[in-house]
């Protein structure tokens, strides 16, 4: 008659292999965390102490409770702000208040667009997929997208004309770049409302040719406006006969 101990010798090799694999994974995780912390503190103390942004964008929510309403999109915006602040700490540059405002608004714009796409795509199963969606409605999401859209464009326009920006870049021509921002916002809204896209904002921004061209032209305009007066005379002097 077989007993339980009859199978122990046969199970030991597999058990030991599982333990070795688990120990190796734990050691690799500890090494990666330690290396990341060392690299972060080597850049700057502020960057090292900055809490890492989390991928969890939806806090625990009970269906039918409005306690955590909007906290998911606000958490996403906070994560982007933490990235911006950590980047400024890493390079030792004081972060601009305008950068924080624009980062929050753009993150909210993208997050609300994603929530609207999820709500329309999943319909009755939206709350099961993401419980906090039970607190939203399509018309309500549309209103929030409209508010954030107008706020984003207004914040960028005020940023380009602020005395701080004019003094920093020594130019009053940055408002010329506003049409590129308007086109980018309008194009994204078109894809969101007319093409039912926006479920993955990063993929959408990188796959839509019109958005990519617009971003490239916007960056080129910034380079010409900010660095043109510096590089232009030197380039002309270099190639002039």
Name the burial class of residue 28, with classes exposed (0-12), middle (13-18) and buried (19+) by CB atoms within 10 angstroms of its CB: exposed
Q: Using CA atoms, how far apart are residues 58 and 131, in angstroms rounded to an integer?
A: 9
Region class of 132: left (phi > 0), else alpha (psi between -120 and 50), else beta: alpha
Q: How confident is the model over 176-198, as pLDDT tens digits?
A: 999 999 999 999 999 999 888 87
Q: Using CA atoms, how far apart are residues 165 and 170, in angstroms rounded to an integer?
A: 8
Q: How many CB atoms lie within 10 A of CB 54?
A: 11
- Determine the 3-state secondary structure of 221 from DSSP: helix
User: How large a percentage of the chain has pLDDT more than 70?
Assistant: 62
Helix axes 178-193, 209-239, angle to 10 degrees: 160
Q: How confident is the model over 76-100, as pLDDT tens digits?
A: 788 878 877 777 777 777 777 888 8
Q: Using CA atoms, how far apart are residues 97 and 88, in angstroms rounded to an integer?
A: 12
Residue 72 has pLDDT above 80, yes or no: no
Q: What integer pLDDT is reported at residue 206 of this predicted model?
A: 87
7-11, 14-18, 73-77, 215-219: which has the highest mean pLDDT?
Answer: 215-219
Q: What integer pLDDT is reported at residue 55 of this predicted model?
A: 43
50-64, 102-116, 134-148, 173-187: which has the highest mean pLDDT?
Answer: 173-187
103-107, 125-129, 212-216: which has the highest mean pLDDT?
Answer: 212-216
Q: What integer pLDDT is reported at residue 158 of this predicted model?
A: 93
Q: Which of 237, 104, 221 is nearest to 169 (CA)?
A: 221
- Residue 117 is encoded by which pair of tokens? 């796409």
Q: Which of 156, 135, 165, 161 is nearest to 61 (CA)?
A: 135
Q: What is the pTM of this model?
A: 0.66
Phi, psi of 22 (to 5 degrees): -65, -40
- Determine the 3-state secondary structure of 67 from DSSP: coil
- Determine the 3-state secondary structure of 224 from DSSP: helix
> In sequence order, which residues have a C-beta less than 8 Å from that of residue 95 and are 6 or more positions away?
84, 85, 88
Q: What integer pLDDT is reported at residue 212 of this predicted model?
A: 94
Whether the CB-CB separation of 175 and 160 falls below 8 Å is answered with yes
Domain residue limits, the chain = 30-239
Among the ranges given (112-126, 149-163, 181-195), the one the predictor scored with the smallest mean pLDDT: 112-126
DSSP 143-170: HHHHHHHHHHHHHHHHHHHSHHHHHHHT
52-56, 172-176, 197-201, 229-233: which has the highest mean pLDDT?
Answer: 172-176
Q: Which of 128, 109, 130 is nearest to 59 (CA)?
A: 130
Q: Using CA atoms, how far apart are residues 137 and 102, in angstroms rounded to an integer?
A: 26
- Determine the 3-state secondary structure of 89 from DSSP: helix
pLDDT band at 58 (very low <50, low <70, confident <90, very high): very low
Whether the CB-CB separation of 172 and 166 falls below 8 Å is answered with yes
| Mean pLDDT within 196-212 | 87
């Amino acid at each position: 008659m077989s007993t339980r101990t009859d199978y122990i010798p046969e199970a030991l090799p597999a058990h030991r292999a599982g333990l070795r694999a688990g120990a190796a994974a734990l050691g690799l995780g500890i090494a990666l965390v330690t290396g990341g912390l060392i690299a972060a503190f080597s850049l700057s103390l502020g960057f090292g102490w900055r809490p890492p942004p989390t991928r969890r964008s939806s806090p625990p929510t009970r269906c039918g409770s409005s306690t955590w309403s909007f906290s998911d999109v606000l958490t996403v915006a906070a994560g982007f702000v933490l990235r911006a602040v950590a980047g400024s700490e890493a390079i030792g540059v004081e972060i601009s208040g305008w950068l924080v405002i624009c980062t929050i608004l753009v993150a909210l714009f993208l997050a609300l667009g994603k929530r609207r796409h999820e709500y329309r795509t999943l319909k009755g199963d939206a709350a099961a997929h993401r419980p906090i969606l039970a607190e939203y409605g399509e018309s309500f999401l549309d209103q929030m997208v409209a508010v954030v859209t107008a706020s984003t464009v207004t914040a960028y326009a005020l940023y380009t004309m602020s005395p701080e920006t004019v003094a920093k870049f020594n130019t009053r021509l940055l408002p010329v770049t506003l049409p590129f921002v308007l086109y980018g916002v309008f194009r994204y809204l078109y894809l969101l409302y007319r093409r039912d896209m926006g479920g993955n904002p990063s993929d959408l921004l990188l796959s839509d040719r019109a958005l990519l061209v617009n971003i490239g032209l916007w960056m080129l305009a910034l380079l010409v406006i900010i660095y043109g007066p510096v590089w232009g005379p030197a380039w002309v002097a270099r190639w002039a006969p």
